[in-house]
Every structure is written in structure tokens, then in C-alpha cells.
Structure 1
């Protein structure tokens, strides 16, 4: 099939936007048999000399799939590389600064490579193991070629069944210490018996093709540290023993052990309580003991609240520890309030969010590790309030991947990157490219270059959808017609609502890019759809598609509100629906809560939040949120105990209760307009691209206090909730409102009374508003 001009231009735009690198100078190398087996491990060494080592050297490293890098015996990169998939055929490469590790005279580069060797929901297997390395050393160019030495590591094997489920590209790692090579990465280790690597050709080269620079940071790395519950070591195990080591929270870890044994061949098993995460097995680890003192760290990360070691009799445990790794971002946002439940759900949402960040945003870190875009939209929205700006890069990476994987027929699908999945979930894809997905990224970052790169793909996908003469979008089943977990889904209504939100996001992106014809197109489509939605689907007691026969779908009503389809005159009726119907999963409940806040029903929103999320929030055994509503409940439906799609309350509390929200892209202009309801105290901080924003309110019987911080380079609108009339509002010690009228102020300009708030414009600085209630 011939590509259109638009497709060709989009390809080259994405090639640049996804960090493709040119002028490669090294060779892809592999092992001599060039037979790639699942879960295989290879050691590569290059010894060389330098007379005048430069202080700054940038190495470029690509591999299928992961690597560990030592220079002169020092560990420089722990689990480098990203799972494949910047495009269906492309591969990521790392840039690593190695200058400070080089010395005058002899030097050693050592790389342990892990070839996963199977497709998954987050990785597309190339079918062949390969390594690429290049570094300009000033004196000469250090490149991977046939002079590098290698050996297949004989100690690495695959654990026996149960094997990791098909969604995971990782395998469970078994290490037989009887075949260990020892410290092969140390310069003094002799490698004369190793084979020379096989040169396959210069990059770009099939099957790895175009190389794309890693767009996210290397992992945060704690080093080897002690467990939360200290055990008495050394300990001689007299009978087969299970030792449960407690982690500080549910985190991504690699387990470590140091033991002594008089015999060999016995097995130590390491796993976490999430091994059966959401049903099918994920990964665990085994270590086959040799004689003597030995230590080992299993490099395949796992997650959980506890690490469970099964130790055979006769083994002397010298130490058990772990290493935490994870996405390199800081927990720079915060939320506290006088309501302990709200504090707990915000913190559990944060923990669940961070646990589902690594190579991509993922639904869960155990069962799938997959970038389902319905989940990504919720997760990325939370990150803007909870994490620092480094987190933005993970959404940006996912956005480029989503459009790069767009099919010839212009459809999109997720999860991607994936080697064993290609089905479109139409509602999720509308969500991804729409108002809460791509546009929300632009609104929070101001990154117009990325939107410019990706917008043509968004437009192409929206063009797949058709509307009838009355404006209703025609239902597309795609590869999997999925709207949400659970029952009573009015799918045609839900699809129309999310299509409207997709058009709304595209409209705003087209406005930012100055594409006037597209703006007009989207405005026309939105008007038709909104008019049809209200005339055809409104029954007087809620929205309902004529073909739908189930109970009224609370999700669809919520989407009608948050999209702007439902006008305020329908809010009283919709409020009764929300009080009566509870069908949304924890994923879609975010939209219900947001709708309630937008309707001004703050106290009921918080009441419903606590009612529905209460069992998982109050469960003392987990510091993460579940995929379904509870564990062991027949209506739960299965699922994981750590699923980031459930964390929407974090966004609601920071954005609506404390009122922090951008008005213009990149926080050039934003608002702090709290909606306290009956909450007495609440405080939130968010790290934006302009700096730290703070909102702190105290809601007393006779006064409302609001302290805000506005960073430099911004303008802000501050809202005082108009619960009842105020006799006076002060900014600091100066009166800015009295007897129902604004007073002149050089620090705050009155904008309007909008029905729920008195709005004032302020410049950068720290302010304290005091509103005296009548």
C-alpha cells in the first residue's frame, strides 16, 4: 500500500521527535552461534589503554534487551536499556557519561547483557540478541566490534514452572552458583579463553533498525540496603525455613543474599506476595547454592510489600538485603487535610502511581507491566500534582510511542510497545489523544513542539470516526469494545461522550498550532454532537442511549458533565442519578468524582469517595490501591492489589478541593480556586514547569483563610469560595472587599463573582487572604 504524503511527513517528523541518532560508527555484535534463546545472558569485555583519559566521554549503548555496565570493576549502570518499541521496528539506546570512571593506562569495559527473548505487552522481541557500544575517547574511538571478548554466562537459567504469564516479556531467573564465573568484570580477571564477538554490521541494522535516544532518566538506585525488619544474622538454618523480609512499602526491588554452605545444589527461592498478582503468575527467582561463602543479587526486578526467602536446611545466612530501583523522579507534591481518610487515599494513590512507572506507565507492576492508555491518562494526570517535572518525560515517551505505532488504517491501539497484542480499544484510544490525555500534557507542560509532532496522528485517528447526520458518533467495535470493568455500561453513550472529549482536546491543540480549518471542523462536529446528545439521549431522569436496557450508567452521566455536554440546568437531576447509581470501576470513578465537584456537590463527592474506596484505603495490609473495589468480594472480579487507574482521587483533591489548575499551557496563567465543602483544613503543593505552587486553606465557622504561593513567570487567579456573603476580605492587612464591593489594591485585582467564588488576579508572590463570613 502506498503511503500518503501526510504519512511520509509524519514518519520523518516522528523520526526526529523520537530522538533518532545519525552517523553511527560501531558494529552490532553478538555471540558466535547467533542463536537467541529466551532469558539468555552474555558477558562482554573490552580491555584497552589510554594515555590521556578525557574527563568527559559520552557512551552510546544499545542492546536487546537490558544491560549492566562496569568500568574498571565499578558498577556504572544498573539495568540500562529500555524494552524495545519506540516504533514497531525501532530500538532505544542509552547515553551514559563514563569519563570519570576512566584512568590513565589500562581500562576495562564490562557489560552483562540480558536478552529477554520473548514478546510481551510492554516489549517487542527483535528475535536476536545484539549489543552496540560507541564512545569517543579523543585519542581514538572505542566501538563494539570483533575485538570484544564474550562468553555466554553459564550460571543463568530459567526457573521451573509456574512460568511467568504471556503478558510479561521477563522470565523468572534461576542462577546456578556452581557455574558462576566469579567477578568476570574486574580488570584482573583473565578472559583469554573467551571467544571474540561476531560483527553483524554497522547501525542501523536489522532487526534493531533505527536507534532512538532514551527519553527518560536512568533508574533511581538505592544501592544494597537492609530490610525494614532486621533479622538476627548470621543464622544457621537447621530446618527448611521461610523468612519474610519487610519492605518499607510496595516498591520495585531486586533481592540480595549472602550465605555460607557446606554442601551444594540446594535451592534458595525468592519471591514476593504479589507473585500471583491479579491471577496469573509473574516472576520469582531461584539461587542454586555452591559450597562456601557466596553472595548474589537477582537482577530481575519484582515488587511487593515483603520479600519471601525459602532457605534450605544447613545453610548459614550471613545477610539478606535488597536494592530499590525505580523511575527517577521526586515526590515533590503533597496533600494534607483535617480529614484522615483523604490523607490516606492521596498517599496510597501516590504510592500506587510511582509503583506503576518504569520503562513505561503501566497498569500494574506484576501481572502485565503494560502501557494501557486508559490507565496512562489517569496516571499522568496524577503525576502533575504529585511528582516533579522529570515525570513528564514518561508521558511524552508514551505519546510518541502511541503515534509511532499507528496502523496503516490510521487506528491506534494499546498497550504499546507490544509484540503479542494489536487490538484497538476505541474508548481508551479516544481518551488517550483527547482532552485528558495529549491535551492535558500540553496544558501542564506548554510543550508545543511535541504536540506539533504528534497532532497529525491525532487528526488521522479522529478521522476514522464517523458521525451521522444528526451528529451522533457511529459506534466502532475496534479490536475489543471495552468501556470499563463491571456491569451496566451504556457503551454507545460513553463512546459519544469520550469522542466529544477527544474533539475538545484536538480543537485546543489545533488552536495552539494555528490550524484554523481544523478548529472550525472540530467546532462543527462538537456542536452537532452536543445538540444530538441532549436532544436524543436526555430522558428527563438522566442520559440514556435508546438501545441501552441496563441500569442508568453513572460513568456516562459523569462524562457528559466533565466534557461540557451537560449544562448546569441538568445538574439537579444528574445529582440524583449519582446518589442512586454506583457502577463505575475505580478507573471510571475518577470522572464521577470530578463531575460532582464541577457540579458543586463537594460533600457528597467526598462521601461517595470514602464509601467506595474505603475498603481498600483502610485495608492495613496494603499501601496501594486495588484494580477492583475489594479483595475477596464476589463482585470484585479479580485483579491486582496495585493498579494505578484507581488513583484519580489524588487529582481530585489537589485540583478541585485545593483548587490548583492551569488555565493556560505551561502554567503561564493558572488558578487556585479551592472547593472546601465542609472540610476544615487542607493544603496542597504541586511542582509545575514554572515552580512550586501552594494552596493552603482553613475553613472556620466565621472566616475563611487561604494562603497561596505563586511562582515567578506566572499570573494566577485566586478564588474565595462564595459559601455566603462576606463582610470583608483582606489580603494581608489590606481590605480588598467590603460590603459586597471590591476595594482598590495594587496586589490583587477583582475579576468577577462567578456564582461559586470571588475571583482575584494576583502576581507572583506569597499571599494570605482572610474572608470574614456574615
Structure 2
């Protein structure tokens, strides 16, 4: 493409924190036919929403490394008005911080409109008008370390018609030209390599509950991480530091008050109030909620908080509550900071950025210069003793309100029957639902969408100016228990203008339940005309199907399908709520599931190509990309290489296999450098496989990693053969053999007849035996001969003394191993047990974890962290592959086997997509007592199909070949 456009932005910071900036260009379109076909090419840093003549056309760009910035192209001829003034408007959301799906660049917009004849009608330059979106509060808190910012919009401060041609932008400024295409940090531009995501409107199914509530009177969130550590916004690595935050709570009346901290275990090591240390035993509430009742004096009360720790998020959340008539505000404890901020920091005394694949030092948590402060500061003026480390916290790091805490913590929560008319709020196109208002209380309405979705919230209301609508989405509730999303601020505060109005959020969220709390309501009733949600995912057709005689398996297959779809965005992502992150290892399993459901390949191809971009962070490749967290899980890199090979098996795309081999060879050469003198793989990293108490230290020789490295080296050798690299094929094959021999020599415990979990960095042999280690030894072929017979026995009868499987992700590998040794019946039984438990609890998507294991023990009601996690969608793959019996025997599915296994089922039917188009349909019924089966199969005619009845069965086979369409 020939670019005439320049990168543009506004005055001020190059990379402002959480800035929404609006751009407009009004232009004439000729009345002749030149504009009948026109295309608009656009990209932005960080995200954009595009409007043409007031119509929203698209969102983007897809996530990418800044040095490979992706751009989108839209057909816009149908929206242009020949012979009239036309307007292109763009809302750009610049994060200004690195996340788990974005590496900090700088603010910028690039756009170009071309007619069919090649004429460039408009291009971004200094004539475009720009202004900050004054209704958006840039001081809203971070959603999480993985994501950007929560949303706070004041509709009274911004004209919604700014996207239209009629809007007068005379008070806007001219855009600032940054430079041409190819400038830093966007040195290379790449066209979008996947289709635009869907936007399918869904609605709540009912009003779940109504309540009148009271919460904190005063709240704030402080980004302690960014305030304490300069440069921390440029990366998303965890860090550790020692330091304090101080403020004054000014109370209108003396009396008893509650201080609340909802900091997800961070930023609350200790605190003092008016010079008295608050003993931690006085705090109550289930972690991460911590509350303490205190006596506040009338006037100023000094609050000093030790915020030291090791943290990723680094958010300090503070709430203050007392009965009326007390009112509160935060004010600076020092007059010299009064005009700058209500908060000041002392420190850091020491800090260190942790990178898990490098050597990290531990800071001095017992440093007396740091520790003495909590007891030494008795009154505000004592802070001046530490002037060299004392500074006001910038306002941009301090939020005006903590909407999350206001939605979660309730001093009073009085449940009420839902009036019939309020259900109108969830039924589109009828009379509005009127929100009841209660004197002295806020009103909470809880909406249920019936299942989890991922996308963009919309609503239409009528209200008085200044009415506050606080929206908060979460995934799970059961009876009185509501699983609050600690560590994730999925809130939207919307301050109403007067009258009827609508709003569409530009920020993606995932949830099932949506709580609306109406605050500051006046005598004018608040009317809800509609709430809807735009489900947004990679566009897929529902090709894959499965149904059988067991209704439970049918329900499980459905939640697996829905989960996979929700986690297909511009890449595969782990979950639509907590992270929205492309975790490299997760995507290998997700891709196999997707192959049996949707048969699409572009999304996986895009995922695989993104990974090598992380080599500037580490030659071992990062475990989530593109990301500001330079983190390595070796297994995740191994799974990526295996997925590259499986992509070839799925598509027979030899050119792509050759392309990826170069990257696989690069990182495997670096992994081989981690083979120590013992001949084993010994690495410092995040040595993860499963969420369970297996012995997998982050430094040392971890058996499951060594075993998966053997498999990866063999995959690399095979890819080398495809690429014509004879030397590499031999070298990696020999390395795999040597490593396998070393594992069997040093990591097998002959007395216990099992592979140990690890050898620690100090040389200690692990005493832990786990099913995880035995599973991968069987699956990868490292276990051979008599040892494999022993290990395969464990697959069928897991010893009780072994650490058991703790996540559906690990179950995927367990099922793979079972399928190889004839354990399909056990796969179905395990699916019924573990996924059936999800169904019993009303799951509409697959959970990240199995319930009541390590991370959930603080709260028995918390069944899992994330209730929608695509790494858990194994049933949709194994039911199609084993119960229907559809599996590929050759690259590109040119040869396919149909070999169903009844395993107690009376019948099953379904479809599996073929990667070249079309599908394979299978339907069978079986009589176990007579060992007979009726099997019907249809498939594309150019596919060679081998059809097999189960061993010991007789019956009839009906076979239909379908011609290819042109």
C-alpha cells in the first residue's frame, strides 16, 4: 500500500495515561461515481472506534507488537454521501501503560481514505481537528495488571454528537503531525490478517434482584506501583519495594468509622492512624477484603499505610464509612502538598523489578530505615523528617472514586421483591422500566444475561442531570453468594445528562451478571429503556456438532463450545473477564478444540506468528504476547512449537511450517544451552504445568519440563525435515534421544516405581510424586518398556498418594494419554465427574480450575477463579475425536479415520469441520448386549476415509460421498 497519511496526535504528553482523544475530518465527496467504492485504512495506538457520518463502522486494531503495527481496511462507499459534506470521526483510546496485551508505544492515529480509482481523498495530517474527550475521566483506576482502565464517563461534559457532520468543532485544535509511516515505534505496518470480529446483540434474560444499599461515603484508588517506581508504566513485570503512603481523613464529626481495603492482598502490610499502629488482628473480612473499625476525631486524622510488598497490580483501594451525619474527605497531611495532592509517598527505600527468567535479588524487608517509620510518625509534621524520600503523589495516579469497592462492599443491603414493571428494563422495544428510589439509600438492580458473554455494553436511559449509574459485571453467583471479581475492576461509572440518552462503551468486558447501582437520584424517575450487550468474537460458523444418548455429555459439550467461542478474539485468549490475554501455551489446546468446532485457521496462524516477536524480551520466547510482562513458562514455548507442527498436520501448509521452523530452531538452540552437565534441562523460569501442589520450583530441574522438551525437540526435528534442514533434523533428534536417556537415568525412582517431580537447585531430589509427571512421561513416549506399563497403569488407577490433577488444562493431557492406551471410557467418566460438577453448579462456560483446591480454600463458595476459560474446553475435542471417532491420519486431513467408540452410549451424532471445507457427518447407534452398530457417515469425496466398527462389533455402514462445490 502507498501511504500518504502521517501519524498524528494532540498537544501534550507523547504517551498520556488513559487518554481518550477524538479526531474529526470533514470533507466533500464528489457527486460523480468515484466514491461509490471507497476504502478507509486505519490504525491507532492503542485502540480506536471509527465512525463515518455518525455511524459506528468498526473497532481496532488487533493486538500487535508496536514494531509490527497492524492496520485495518474498511469499505465505506455505502456510508459516503456524494455531493455533500462528510465526516470521519475517530475515538482513540491510548492506554499509556503496558499491559498483558499491549506494549506501551505512544499516542497516534493513522488513516487514509481512497476511492476506487486510487485517488487519496483524505489522509491524516495537520488539518484534522482533535480534542480530548472531556467527559472521560483519565484518573479512573486500572482494571488489573493484565488490562487497561476502568471506565468513568460524565455525559454532561461532552457532546455525543461530535461524530456527526453537523457538529461544530471550532474550539478544537489542529492535530500535531508526528511523522511519516515507518517512524518509531511503529517501524513496520502489517495489514490485518484475520476478519473483523462479530458484534451480535444479546439481552438480559431477567432482573435477578432488587435491593436498597449503602456503601462507603469516601473512596479512592491509588496506583502505588506507578507512583512509587518511575518507569513501571513501561512494562508489566512484577516488582518489589518498601515504602509508605500517607493522607489525612478529614471528618466533619468525631465517631466510629470503618476503613476498608480491597487491595487483593497488596499494598496493606501495616498501617497507623493518628500515630497509633493498628494491629493486624483488629482487621476482619475474608482476604482480599480487609476492614477495621476505628475512632476518628473531628477534623484531621493522619493515616499512614505501609504499602511494601511484591506485586503485579499495585493498587491501594481505600474506603471510609460512618453513620450519618459524618462526612469525609481526603486532604494532604502537609500544607506544602495541599495544591498538588491529598496523598504523599515516602519511598521507595528499596525496589527491584523481577523478571522470572533472570536472577533477581531480594530487597531488604528488615531495613530499619524503612521499618522505623510506622512507629515514628505520630503526627503529620513528623513526615518532614523523611523529606529526601517524601513527595506528593501525582493526581493522575489517584482516582476520584473506587466504583468497584462501592459496588462490592455494602453496609446495608436490603433485598426487595422485583416489581413487575421493572422487568421492562430487560425487554427491548416496550415501555421503560422505572427504577425505584429509596430515601437515604442507593438502588441496586442485578441483571442476568443467562450465560457469559464477551464484548461491549450498551444502554438507553432517561434521568436527571447528575444521576450516577454504576455498572459492574461479574461471572458467578449462587443464592446469597456473589463471587466478586477481586483483582479485576470491571466497572463503568456513567454520570447522566438530563433527559433520554444512550451510551455504547468502547471497552471490552466479559461477564454473565451485571449490577446497576443508581446513585444521586433526584425526584425525576430513572427510566431504563434497554440494556444490551454486543457479543464480539472471531467470526465462526457453528459447523461442529455433537449429541448423544447422555444428556449430561450434551450439556458439557455445549459449555465447551460456548467457552471456546467467547475466548476467540483477535487471538485465542485465556478468559474474557480477568485477563483477555493470549497465553501461548493455552492456545495449543484451544486450537485443537476449535478445529473440531469451527475449522478456522487464520486465528491460529496469527497466534503462532506473534510469539517470535517476543525474542527481544527473551530468546526463550515469552509465555503471553504481545505483552509488557517479560515472563517465560518453558512449557508454554514447547506447546507453541508443538502447535506449529499440529497446524501443519491440520492444514498441510508446508510453506508455513518452513517459516515457523526458523523461529522454532532459534529458540530451541537457546533452550539446548540450558542443558546442564548432568544432561538435564535446568532453567530459572516460571516452571508451571498445573494449578496443583506438584513440586515444580522456579529454579532447578523440573521433570515435566524435561519430558515436554524431549517431545519438542522431536517436533523440531520433524519440522526441520519438512524445511529441508538435514543438519537440524539430525541434531535435534539426537538431542531428544540424549535428554530422554538422562531423564530415565536420573529422574526415575526405582523403589517408588515412578518419575520424581524435580531436582531442586541445591541438589535435593524431590520426594513428591504426581500424576502430572507420570501423565506426560506416558504421553510423550519418554517412558518405555516395563516402565511405560507401570505408568500406564497409573493412568487407569491413579495412586491416592500421588498429587492429583488440579485443572481442566492438565486433564487435556491426561485425556490425550488415555486415548493413546485405550482409555476412552475413562475419559468419558472423568468428563462426567469433573465437568458434570460444573453443570451441577449452573455453569454455562468451563471453569479455569477444579473446585476447592489450593487457591480457593479461603472461601468454600469460590469454586474457581475464572468461570470462563478456554484452556478447559477439552470435552468438545475428545467427544468429537473419540465418541464420534473422527480423526485425521495424514496432513490436511487427506486421510481420515472414522472409528467411533460407544463406551456405554446408545447413540451419538455430530459433525466435524474439514480444514479444506465441508464437514464430516457421523451418526451411529449401538447395542452393547448384541455388539451391533449402525453407522452412517458422509464426507467430501476427495478425502480418503477408513471406516472401522468398534472391536468386537458387527453391523451396517452407510457411506455418502459429497462432491466439492466450486
Confirm whether residue 353 of structure 1 aligns to residue 567 of structure 2: no
Cα 1:655/1:467, change in 2 over 3 Å: farther
Cα 1:637/1:296, change in 2 over 3 Å: closer
Q: 1:498 aligns with which of 698, 705, 708?
A: 708
Confirm whether residue 562 of structure 1 aligns to residue 779 of structure 2: yes
Q: Following the alignment from structure 1 to structure 2, what is the Cα–Cα distance between the partners of residues 159 and 268?
A: 18
Q: Following the alignment from structure 2 to structure 1, what is the Cα–Cα distance between the partners of residues 179 and 889?
A: 51
Confirm whether residue 228 of structure 1 aligns to residue 205 of structure 2: yes
Q: Following the alignment from structure 1 to structure 2, what is the Cα–Cα distance between the partners of residues 234 and 341?
A: 37
Cα 1:278/1:484, change in 2 over 3 Å: farther
Q: Following the alignment from structure 2 to structure 1, what is the Cα–Cα distance between the partners of residues 962 and 788?
A: 36
Confirm whether residue 692 of structure 1 aligns to residue 927 of structure 2: no
Contact 1:284 1:302 in 2 (8 A): no
Aligned to 2:262: none
Contact 1:121 1:370 in 2 (8 A): yes
SS of residue in 2 equivalent to 1:157: coil
Cα 1:583/1:489, change in 2 over 3 Å: farther
SS of residue in 2 equivalent to 1:455: helix
Confirm whether residue 304 of structure 1 aligns to residue 511 of structure 2: yes
Comparing 53-62 with 119-128, greater Cα deviation is found at 53-62
Contact 2:38 2:113 in 1 (8 A): no
Q: 1:597 aligns with which of 790, 794, 819?
A: 819
Aligned to 1:126: 105
Aligned to 1:55: 36
Contact 2:473 2:514 in 1 (8 A): yes
Aligned to 1:250: 452
Contact 1:58 1:135 in 2 (8 A): yes
Deviation of 1:478 after TM superposition, in Å, equals 3.7
Q: Following the alignment from structure 2 to structure 1, what is the Cα–Cα distance between the partners of residues 602 and 114?
A: 25
Confirm whether residue 634 of structure 1 aligns to residue 857 of structure 2: yes
Q: Following the alignment from structure 2 to structure 1, what is the Cα–Cα distance between the partners of residues 770 and 815?
A: 14
Contact 2:536 2:569 in 1 (8 A): no
Contact 1:617 1:625 in 2 (8 A): no
Q: What does 1:42-441 correspond to in 2, within 5 Å? A: 42-51=21-30, 52=32, 53-77=34-58, 79-85=59-65, 89-106=67-84, 107-136=86-115, 138=117, 139-158=119-138, 160-161=140-141, 163-168=142-147, 170-223=148-201, 226-229=203-206, 231-232=423-424, 233-239=432-438, 240-262=442-464, 264-274=465-475, 279-312=486-519, 313-314=521-522, 315-322=525-532, 323-389=534-600, 392-407=601-616, 410-419=619-628, 421-434=629-642, 437-441=643-647
SS of residue in 2 equivalent to 1:187: coil
Deviation string for 1:675-713 (max 9, x for gaps)? 332222222312122221123232213202222222133
Deviation of 1:67 after TM superposition, in Å, equals 1.6
Q: 1:624 aligns with which of 822, 831, 845?
A: 845
Q: Following the alignment from structure 2 to structure 1, what is the Cα–Cα distance between the partners of residues 885 and 678?
A: 34
SS of residue in 2 equivalent to 1:405: helix
Q: Following the alignment from structure 2 to structure 1, what is the Cα–Cα distance between the partners of residues 136 and 758?
A: 60
Aligned to 1:580: 798
Comparing 568-577 with 607-616, greater Cα deviation is found at 568-577
Deviation of 1:417 after TM superposition, in Å, equals 0.4
Aligned to 1:737: none
Q: 2:939 aligns with which of 710, 732, 741?
A: 710
Cα 1:35/1:534, change in 2 over 3 Å: closer
Cα 1:637/1:704, change in 2 over 3 Å: closer
Comparing 470-479 with 572-581, greater Cα deviation is found at 470-479
Contact 1:344 1:617 in 2 (8 A): yes
Cα 1:699/1:508, change in 2 over 3 Å: farther
Confirm whether residue 510 of structure 1 aligns to residue 720 of structure 2: yes
SS of residue in 2 equivalent to 1:346: helix
Cα 1:189/1:478, change in 2 over 3 Å: same
Cα 1:476/1:359, change in 2 over 3 Å: farther
Contact 1:237 1:311 in 2 (8 A): no
Deviation of 1:480 after TM superposition, in Å, equals 2.0
Cα 1:40/1:493, change in 2 over 3 Å: same
Q: Following the alignment from structure 2 to structure 1, what is the Cα–Cα distance between the partners of residues 614 and 553?
A: 39
Q: Following the alignment from structure 1 to structure 2, what is the Cα–Cα distance between the partners of residues 576 and 42?
A: 62
Contact 2:199 2:537 in 1 (8 A): yes
Q: Following the alignment from structure 1 to structure 2, what is the Cα–Cα distance between the partners of residues 697 and 159?
A: 60
Deviation of 1:398 after TM superposition, in Å, equals 1.4
Deviation string for 1:291-311 (max 9, x for gaps)? 222222222121111221112
Contact 1:128 1:207 in 2 (8 A): no
Q: Following the alignment from structure 2 to structure 1, what is the Cα–Cα distance between the partners of residues 612 and 890?
A: 25
Deviation of 1:34 after TM superposition, in Å, equals 4.8
SS of residue in 2 equivalent to 1:272: strand
Deviation of 1:533 after TM superposition, in Å, equals 4.4
Contact 1:431 1:501 in 2 (8 A): no
Q: Following the alignment from structure 1 to structure 2, what is the Cα–Cα distance between the partners of residues 140 and 175?
A: 36
Deviation of 1:674 after TM superposition, in Å, equals 2.2
Deviation of 1:236 after TM superposition, in Å, equals 4.6
Deviation of 1:269 after TM superposition, in Å, equals 0.6
Cα 1:129/1:334, change in 2 over 3 Å: same
Deviation of 1:649 after TM superposition, in Å, equals 2.6
Q: Which runs of 5+ in 2 are unaligned?
A: 208-422, 425-431, 477-482, 760-764
Contact 1:222 1:324 in 2 (8 A): yes
Q: Which runs of 5+ in 1 are unaligned?
A: 1-21, 733-746, 748-761, 767-774
Q: 2:683 aligns with which of 430, 453, 477?
A: 477
Contact 1:122 1:370 in 2 (8 A): yes
Q: Following the alignment from structure 1 to structure 2, what is the Cα–Cα distance between the partners of residues 349 and 38?
A: 38
Q: Following the alignment from structure 2 to structure 1, what is the Cα–Cα distance between the partners of residues 902 and 786?
A: 23
Cα 1:61/1:373, change in 2 over 3 Å: same
Deviation of 1:143 after TM superposition, in Å, equals 0.9
Cα 1:546/1:284, change in 2 over 3 Å: closer
Cα 1:333/1:267, change in 2 over 3 Å: same
Cα 1:487/1:114, change in 2 over 3 Å: same
Contact 1:277 1:366 in 2 (8 A): no
Contact 1:29 1:197 in 2 (8 A): yes
Aligned to 1:612: 834
Q: Following the alignment from structure 1 to structure 2, what is the Cα–Cα distance between the partners of residues 704 and 566?
A: 36
Q: What does 1:673-684 correspond to in 2, within 5 Å? A: 673-684=899-910
Q: Following the alignment from structure 2 to structure 1, what is the Cα–Cα distance between the partners of residues 863 and 203?
A: 37
Q: Which has the larger radius of gyration?
A: 2
Contact 1:349 1:647 in 2 (8 A): yes
Q: Following the alignment from structure 1 to structure 2, what is the Cα–Cα distance between the partners of residues 474 and 278?
A: 41
Confirm whether residue 443 of structure 1 aligns to residue 649 of structure 2: yes
Cα 1:218/1:473, change in 2 over 3 Å: farther
Deviation string for 1:246-278 (max 9, x for gaps)? 21420013222222233x223101111249776
SS of residue in 1 equivalent to 2:754: coil
SS of residue in 1 equivalent to 2:836: helix
Q: Following the alignment from structure 1 to structure 2, what is the Cα–Cα distance between the partners of residues 652 and 570?
A: 26
What's the TM-score once normalised by structure 1's chain length?
0.84
